[in-house]
Amino acid sequence: MALAEAGARGRLLRWPRVLLFGDSITEYSFQENGWGAYLAERLVRKCDVVNRGISGYNTRWAKLILPRLITESTGADSIAAVTIFFGANDSALKELNPKQHVPLEEYAANLKGMVQYLKSVDITADKIILITPPPLQESAWEKACLAKGDKLNRCNATTGQYAQACVQVAKECGTDVLDLWSLMQKNQDFSSYLSDGLHLSAKGNSFVAAQLWSRLENKLSALPSLLPYWRDVDHTNPEASLL
């Protein structure tokens, strides 16, 4: 059978998508042993896990980008889940990092606006997971800042305020939330979760992967594996199994 004929006979295969939207902590999640790579491995043959992490970005910029990533006409109906993971940059101290800083009230409004946009293109609240920024290990991040000729430009208490705002937005909007700031600090020494005081270490990636999977598993468990297991393909008439 010619390929064109096979294509005409068969339905277009569309993998559902899990969209990871965030800053550098999301962008780096596809590195070796990253939390995004873990999800992709767990969901292979069921979903495409799409990394749309953009290093250095805040919610002010993210809210402008989101409508360019998902529209009704570009497959919002195929979205199985969306994570929104911002705050590590928004919470930068205004006087020391005015470019990335977003005021707390605006941060909350931006998160709420992104959730409302997703709902407007028929992505329901149960498919959306907000993720708070992780805690900041100040001494380690200060070393990273000094190495670049900068002063310490974030503090953990401020990051906690943004995390609390994220949790509140999730509550108001009816979405799930992964409160990393609180969960990681249940361990008195949370520094092992972070590579440089801000970004995730291997242990931190494993922690995020496990916590996020516990929330995604129920949402995605009903999705079937796409295409039959090879032993189930009728080798005498593969068209009957595959088209």
Q: Helices 59-69 and 104-120: crossing angle, nearest 10°? A: 10
| For the chain, percent of residues with pLDDT exceeding 90 | 76
Q: HSE on the CB side for 99, CA within 13 Å? A: 2
Specify whether 189 is catalytic.
Answer: no
Specify whether 179 is catalytic.
Answer: no
pLDDT digits (tens, 9 = 90+) for 116-144: 999 999 999 999 999 999 999 999 988 99
Mean pLDDT computed over 174-190: 93
- Whether pLDDT at 32 is above 90: yes
- Whether pLDDT at 212 is above 90: yes
Looking at the chain, how many residues does it have? 243
Ordered structural domains, the chain, with CATH: 17-226 (3.40.50.1110)
- Of 166, 182, 73, 72, residue with least CA distance to 128: 166
End-to-end CA distance of the chain: 12
Grade residue 3 by pLDDT with cuts at 50, 70 and 90.
Answer: low
Please give the model's pTM, rounded to 2 decimal places.
0.92
Find the catalytic residue in 24, 182, 191, 201.
Answer: 24
Grade residue 219 by pLDDT with cuts at 50, 70 and 90.
Answer: confident
Find the catalytic residue in 48, 182, 191, 196.
Answer: 196
3-state helix, strand, coil in the chain (%, to 5): 50, 10, 40
Q: What are phi and psi of 182, to 5 degrees?
A: -80, -45
Per-residue tokens: 130:
């907000």
Specify whether 101 is catalytic.
Answer: no
pLDDT digits (tens, 9 = 90+) for 141-155: 889 989 988 898 999
DSSP 10: S
Sheet holding 128-131, edge to edge: 48-53, 17-22, 79-85, 128-131, 176-178
* pLDDT number for residue 227: 87
